[in-house]
Amino acid sequence: MKKHYIILILLGSILFSVFNIYTSDFPEVIAYWNEWMLFLAWISLGLISAVIFYFFQTYLPERQKKIIVQNNFLESYKYFKLNAIQTFLWVINEEHEDHAKLLEVKEFRKYFTNRKWEKLVNKIEDEKNSEHFNNLIFEIELLHKKINILLLSINLPNDTLTFLHRLDEALHRLQYIKKDSDRYQNEYKYFWGTLKSVFCAWSFIDWYSDLDYVEKKLEDI
């Protein structure tokens, strides 16, 4: 909204300046017309100068910072998904000729059917897979830090902000709940449900999408 106001002010100032140039030789129709027009012309020039200054000193640096933060987060997010997919394959004892292809939402949903996903969720709790689960938690810790940096650095739309908060909360808080507690099973299901929504591009707003929900929302900013 702020950007729209600035554009309107700039256009209005330019149009008034052009109008003043073409009407400066007209005879006065109102007392002190030329003086008022000159006064307003100086104000318009001042506004144009202020907008140009804002564009180069504030808008461009902030935009550049935003792009850098977005790109860094998207690279980290992609790296997290890639490592997580490799962990999933190890747990269910399967190999994929190019597991990077599973970063694509359609490919992931096609390969990880509901049956395979349930197999993954059940097997990763086994004692022998504890190392894989710990590796997954470690990757989540790294993503947690990147999400915090992103949230502190740029303004995000409410739906993207809500999704990232929910993702961060679900993936992060499971670590602090003891396995023998009553809450653990509920949190565990919520944890894997959130992970599935990430890899299958599902949300309450868009349901299933063919594009990664987080990437799509960040690229649309």
For residue 100, the 8-state DSSP code is: G
Is the separation of the CB atoms in 154 and 221 below 8 Å?
Answer: yes
Average pLDDT for 171-178: 68
How does pLDDT run across 86-119, given as a tens digit for each residue? Answer: 999 999 988 888 888 999 999 999 999 989 999 9
Provide the angle, in degrees to the nearest 10, between the axes of the packed helices 130-153 and 158-173.
Answer: 150
Measured CA distances, 207 to 1, 78, 112, 213 (Å) = 28, 21, 18, 10
Record the pTM: 0.72
Of the given ranges (10-24, 130-144, 174-188), which has the lowest mean pLDDT?
Answer: 10-24
